[in-house]
Structure 1
Amino acid sequence: MTKPALTLYLAAPRGFCAGVDRAIKIVEMAIAKWGAPVYVRHEIVHNKYVVDGLKALGAVFVEELEDCPDDRPVIFSAHGVPKAVPAEAARREMVYVDATCPLVSKVHIEAERHHENGLQMVMIGHAGHPETIGTMGQLPEGEVLLVETADDVAGLQVRDAEKLAFITQTTLSVDDTAGIVAALQARFPTIVGPHKEDICYATTNRQEAVKAIAPRIDALLVIGAPNSSNSQRLVEVGKSQGCAYSQLVQRAENIDWRALDGIRSVGITAGASAPEVLINEVIDAFRARYDLTVEVVETAQENVEFKVPRVLREPA
């Protein structure tokens, strides 16, 4: 039987970013250096395939430091942790490695600098997300106020309207965040913003690539995990750009083929914690069902690389 023709637009950049790449490398190098098990507080990155692969090597994933023994190394996830966590690890004399993405660490440093200058912080982010918890945990209770939407700005109760600064979670939608920033600046004209946007280059680049393919496609599939903020934002960007069928899938087996019946073009991208092997798996699944033409749409090139901590580069 003749396969129907389909054009697959492959967004570039897509998938792994430098911070995710570094975090995974940190776990692999820690296991190579100290042997298994190595404990990891929270998922190192939000992707089941990646986490399962590291478990097979000897990583043990836990939610809290109290779940770790004193005599085994522990790694903190790429999303960052509150200050109290490394302080407690040091008190227990544990060997620990911080895999926080350097771009998240930059936001932490920014928040501390503003705090030292007597400013109260407003954080634009998602309540309960590990990155938000980690960033808010850099400063004492009450020093960081969280807003999730432009509507939240009206209800903010601040200590001094003249002494405010704002920071953002690194994995947000660029467009949504702009609206919240505008609301903050309208209500608090003297609020201090970041020198350079907090939303990371990888998040921005992946969103721009989706915007480039959206006008050409009947459907968009974003490969990523349900708890991945940057992946969920890519789905939202697809919808906001007019692609009504914009869905998150973890793997090829999660694709709803009936919903795609009759389409002539599909866009594929992946969140920053999704490996290329899963993207290829999805492309192969389309190739099995369609007479496929693959077109790469590249909107930026990425050559960022972050070094792993020195402790892992030194011999055991």
Structure 2
Amino acid sequence: MIRYLKTFVTAAETASFSAAGARLGLTQSAVSAQIQRLEDDLGCQLFERTGRAVTLSDDGRRLLAQARGIVGAYRAMRGEAGQHGVQAAVAPIDLGAILTVQMGVLPGAVRRWWARGAPPHLNIVPGMSVQLLGQIDARELDVAVVIKPRLGIPSDLKWLTLMHEHYVAIAPKSARGELGDWARDLPFLRYNRRSYGGYLVDTFLRRHKVWVRDGVELDEPEVILRMVRQRLGWSIVPSSLIGAARAAGVRSLPLPGAPLLREIGVLARQSALKRAPVASLVECLVEEAGALAAG
């Protein structure tokens, strides 16, 4: 929370989220996200927003002096600790990961990492790719294992591809016919369009003019697979990490046209990769993904 207070003080001093971001080394969206989280935590609005301009609200002006005091006291504490030669404990690693990665890649990768020695505490943060990208952009995460974003990778981040996952169509074992028949006869369990993976599915449906009967829209392919197994409808999901093609009670079909793929990889802060435990963890993620692909 100290980081958010520092961002609040800087934004108040510059009267601009973009200028505050430039001073702190953050994007404007990261500053906005941190201010929003601080406002949620404090239960009040700190800034009045008019277009791109921001001005302190009444609550913001009232709390600014306290925020400056807390930030100043924290800096003083750090200086005092440094003067007395206090050795900071090994910093924990904050790693974000989408659910399919947590289930498919992460257990083996962590086992490899532990085998290399006594690593620091690992804090695993769940979420959709778009959420985790926002968190790593706001410097809340050191590493995120996500679907590759459609936009470019900022220069302060490094991208390492782990795998390319094929999508398949799945339906209950009892379903008859082909994909067009499923679309006509069964409700569609849609991979959330707000996610990168769901965006690919939506694009595929539009391109191939497949009209579906929307039933449920949700974030996680693993949960979708379970719903299909319960005969609630059909879906299009990435297959490898959830084992959709081999799942009991489920029928799978390849998709027509060019292969539909999602690229999963590691997005890490360049500064975080300079820490040996973080670099080692990323190496273990790459090794485990390679072993899964080979097996």
Q: TM-score, normalised by structure 1?
A: 0.25
Structure with greater proportional strand content: 2
Higher relative contact order (CA 8 A, sep 6+): 1
Structure with greater proportional helix content: 2
- Structure with higher Rg: it is 2
